[in-house]
Amino acid sequence: MKYGLIGEHLSHSFSKDIHNMISSYDYSLSELSKDELKEFMVKHEFLGINVTIPYKEEVLKYVNVQDELVRRVGACNTIINKDGNLYAYNTDVLGFIKSLEVNKIDVKDKTALILGTGGASKAIKVALEELGINYIFFASRESKPNTVLYSKLNEIKEDIDVIVNCTPNGMYPNEDAEPLIHLSDFNNLESYIDLVYNPLNTNLMLEAKELGIKSINGLYMLVSQAVYAYSLFFNKEYSDELCNKIYEKIYINKRNVVLIGMPSSGKTTVGRLLSRHLNNEYVDTDRLIESRVSKRIKDYITEFGLNRFRELEVNTVKEVSNYNDKIIATGGGVVLNPLNMRRLAHNSIIIFIDRKLELLTPTDSRPLSSNQRDLERLYEERIDLYKKYADYRVENNTTLEDAMEKVIEVIKCF
């Protein structure tokens, strides 16, 4: 290959997609075993490559020239073949710096805690030093020199201004994993940065949001380091405009729009209108459940009970929470389980379709709101939950088309 990415396992890599968005050139993915790596590097029949886990340090054996950042980090992720000589660069450092710059996160003279001591943490350390960090702590599960055990973090928690997660904790498919820390323990924390970008919002990012702490994921860094690599491959200037454009496209392609709200609030119809208008696939969790049990929800609850239905709902929400670029309408009671809402928030903007109580309509097809009294009771039980979990509230008190237009405006701004 002329250009591409090498690593041991690349099935979940975004690199090819990103580089194809940058420019229409031949960029390939090449999975190499450790035995295959040596032959590949010795032959170096390429013009430019990116390097990922676990070879960012190993490839340094074969390069001729290391730039300053590579020497400081002790690892590289980009190699250029110039007349048979291999030049090593580290665009991870530059990508991280750019992601903080774009998101207006200032770490100068701050104290940082880096979660993890692997290869990624080394690049982040150098990046933070470039940005004028005052001091860096490293957290580790094992006792190592110059690290703090996770169990001992309470001893430094008052000192920490910035936390950077350089571990795969919370990354798909283990997004439900117990977080390594709780941000609420750090009283002076100003910002939380997660290198994970799948899901878009890890559990720690969601906690940061609840606490009012600024947080970002690793997606902008991923795109930015790729654009820097491309600029090295072809000796071009780095482009902020190109980076922003690609980031926005990937973000939109990964993000779902989830509609929550009372039965008869208009979630289903608004969702279908959105689907047609935006050309996004529409998913209804209640209809998905009905198709799998071959029964109406009302009949299923009558036969098996409400608790069994809620179990089905949890499993269905877990499935759809890993979808991308969908319009998802949920059952009215999905907000009753915090686990449902946390999972939906991983990859979604959550919009509350709010319809006045007097405009809601009881119906026999909804077993928990088949009469006005039950409908009013449900409304009082759930209204605060809808408000709690929604990123935005959209009123649906006039026409469904008007509600759809309001949702579209919200999506554009999110």
Does residue 241 form part of some domain?
no
Are 47 and 11 members of one domain?
Answer: yes
C-alpha triplet 151, 203, 413: angle, nearest 5° = 145
Final residue belonging to a domain, choices 162, 187, 217: 217
Work out how many domains the chain is built from and give that number: 3
Final residue belonging to a domain, choices 89, 112, 147: 89
- What does the pLDDT look like over 207-224, one tens digit per residue? 999 999 999 999 999 999
pLDDT at 119: 83
Q: Is the pLDDT of residue 306 over 80?
A: yes
Are 191 and 274 members of one domain?
Answer: no
CATH of the domain at 197: 3.40.50.720
CB 95 within 8 Å of CB 228: yes
Are 99 and 175 members of one domain?
Answer: yes
Q: How many CA atoms lie within 13 A of 101 on its CB side?
A: 15
CATH of the domain at 405: 3.40.50.300
Are 62 and 206 members of one domain?
Answer: no
pLDDT at 113: 98
Does residue 179 form part of some domain?
yes
Are 57 and 180 members of one domain?
Answer: no
- What does the pLDDT look like over 146-197, one tens digit per residue? 899 999 999 999 999 999 999 999 999 999 999 999 999 999 999 999 999 9
Does residue 250 form part of some domain?
no
Are 68 and 202 members of one domain?
Answer: no
pLDDT at 183: 98
pLDDT at 371: 86
Are 334 and 207 members of one domain?
Answer: no
Are 269 and 319 members of one domain?
Answer: yes
Q: Is the pLDDT of residue 82 over 90?
A: yes
Q: Is the pLDDT of residue 367 over 80?
A: no
Does residue 77 form part of some domain?
yes
Task: Examine the residue annotation and report whether 298 is marked as an active-site residue of this protein.
Answer: no
Omega of the bond leading into 199 within 30 degrees of 0 (cis): yes
> Considering 16, 38, 56, 144, which one is annotated as catalytic?
56
Please tell me the pTM assigned to this model.
0.93
Does residue 364 form part of some domain?
yes
Q: Which amino acid is at 370?
A: S
For residue 12, name the pLDDT band (cuts at 50, 70, 90): confident
pLDDT at 303: 95
Average pLDDT over residues 289-314: 96
Give residue for tokens 């009215």.
332
Q: In what side-by-side order are the strands of the sheet with 191-194?
A: 148-149, 135-140, 111-115, 162-165, 191-194, 214-216
Does residue 345 form part of some domain?
yes
Are 267 and 400 members of one domain?
Answer: yes
CA gyration radius for the chain? 24
Omega of the bond leading into 145 within 30 degrees of 0 (cis): no
CB 134 within 8 Å of CB 161: no
For the chain, the average pLDDT equals 95
Does residue 295 form part of some domain?
yes
Find the domain containing 296 and state its range.
255-413
Distance from C-alpha of 259 to C-alpha of 267, rounded to nearest angstrom: 6
Are 193 and 163 members of one domain?
Answer: yes
For residue 11, name the pLDDT band (cuts at 50, 70, 90): confident
CATH of the domain at 83: 3.40.50.10860
Does residue 10 form part of some domain?
yes
For residue 413, name the pLDDT band (cuts at 50, 70, 90): confident
pLDDT at 49: 98
Distance from C-alpha of 20 to C-alpha of 258, rounded to nearest angstrom: 29
Final residue belonging to a domain, choices 67, 89, 111: 89
Distances in Å between the alpha carbon of 225 and those of 50, 60, 211, 270, 364? 10, 19, 30, 39, 55
Are 263 and 375 members of one domain?
Answer: yes
pLDDT at 365: 72
Are 300 and 374 members of one domain?
Answer: yes
